[in-house]
Every structure is written in structure tokens, then in C-alpha cells.
Amino acid sequence: MKGFWSRLAVTAAGIPLVLGLAWLGGWWLLVLAAAAGSIALHEFCGLMRPMRPVLLAGYAGLLLALVGASQGGPAWMVGGFLVTLPAAFVLKGFGDTRAPVAISVAITTLGAAWIGFGLGLALLLRRIPEHGRLAIFTVLIAVFASDSAAYLAGRLVGRRRMAPTISPGKTWEGFAFGSAAAIFVTWIALYRTGFVDGARSIVLGAVIALIGPIGDLFESALKREMDVKDTGRLLGGHGGVLDRIDSLLLAAPAAYFVILAFGAT
């Protein structure tokens, strides 16, 4: 019960802050993404410590990817991220060699790509002409609604485990309620906007509903392999920042490319 109340307190404080900075956009949202991304990457590198990730190289690629996305666009985001690979190789050469170079560089690149592209594409959602605020608000609220509905339904009526070897707490009942919440929120937000409306809003909601839990399960699989429950304690019952944004890190890119496919960017 203590974990539930701490989750509620963090949610009550965090949602207005995140949505407020998303509304402002620009450097405000970039600072939020950089702070959250840096903490999440630190947690990721702590989780994968036995594989010796090169944290400084990861930070460089992450932050340059976010600045590129915010100030330049997709090409600049990719260009910034690509700094990760040579930086990791060079810094690994000056550090310890207890882990193979290929593993250290690969894990560093994975962390920078997963977090950098996930948050970078969320920034690109905010940059969509005319409808940027609507796009980022819709994705953020849909992901939050999906996570919350899945959590509550899983606790109250969950019986059938969805992925018992990866995340025993996740159930098919929770997934069904979470999917319904994501689709409903997306449809309500967009169906009469002239942006991604009508049936296309339902498609977008379904993509968020499907891809978001995959991001959650991916992080759960990493934690299971490393025998860790949470990546951190910063957010109380939510765990670490990475535990909180894992769904968004795949849902935001998926939503961006669906909107791109609809020709709405």
C-alpha cells in the first residue's frame, strides 16, 4: 500500500510538470528531456554495469541527439547520436579492459539509442507544424492512461499472466484495459481536430497500445537478466526514471512514424 501512495504522489506532482513543459516546448522541453534522459541512461548503465558500458560516451550521444532533434530535426538527431560509437571506442581504450570492447561499445550504443531516439522523437512530435502540442499531449496522456489502466486492472482483476518469465506482474486483463484506455484517449483527443482524426486516430491509439507495453517488457527482460527489481528509487513506487518512461521510449517513435505515414507532419 505504501508503494501505491508514493506512486500516486509522484503522479500528481509529475503530470502537471511534464504537460506544462510540453505545452511550452522549445528549450523548456529540451531541458526536461535532457534531465530525464541523463538520469535514465545513468540507471541503464548501472543496470548493465557487468558489461562495462562507457557512460560518458552514452551521455554525449544522448544529449547531442536530443539537441539535434530539438533544434535541427531528424537528420541532426541521428548525426548527434552517431557520436556515441567512436566516443565509446576511444574512451574504452583509455579505460579498463575487463569487458570485451565489442560488448562495452554495443551496450553503450544500445542505451544511447533507446533513450536518445525515444525522447528525441518525442521532441520531434512537439515540432510538428500547427499540431505539435496536440501530438505530444495525445501521446503522453495515452501512454500514461495505458500504463495506469493496465496497472490497476492487473491488480484488481488480473488472472492470466502475460509474460510470466519476463514480468510476472503483467496480465492479459491489464493489457486489455490498458489498450482500451490508450485507444479511447487518442480517439477523444483527435477525432474532430482535422489532424489525425476519425479512423486514423483509432489506428494511432492501437499502435500506442501495442508498442508501449513492448517497451515495458523490454526493460523488464533486462532487469530480469540482471536480477534487479527497479532501476532506481528516485520516483518512489514507480522505481527509477527509466522504469517510468520505458513505454514512452518506444511509443513516441511509433506514434511519430504513424503520423508521418498519414502525411500529417
Give the model's confidence band at 240: pLDDT under 50 very low, under 70 low, under 90 confident, else very high: confident
| CB-CB contact of 212 with 253 (8 Å) | no
CB atoms within 10 A of CB 227: 6
- String of DSSP letters for 41-86: HHHHHHHTGGG---HHHHHHHHHHHHHHHHHT-HHHHHHHHTTHHH
Sign of CA dihedral 170, 175, 177, 179: positive
- CA dist 33 and 191 (Å) reads 28
pTM above the 0.85 mark?
yes
Mean of pLDDT over the chain: 90
121-153 tens-digit pLDDT: 999 999 999 999 999 999 999 999 999 899 889
**CA-CA distance, 254 to 210, in Å (whole number)?**
10
Residue 119 banded pLDDT, cuts 50, 70, 90: very high
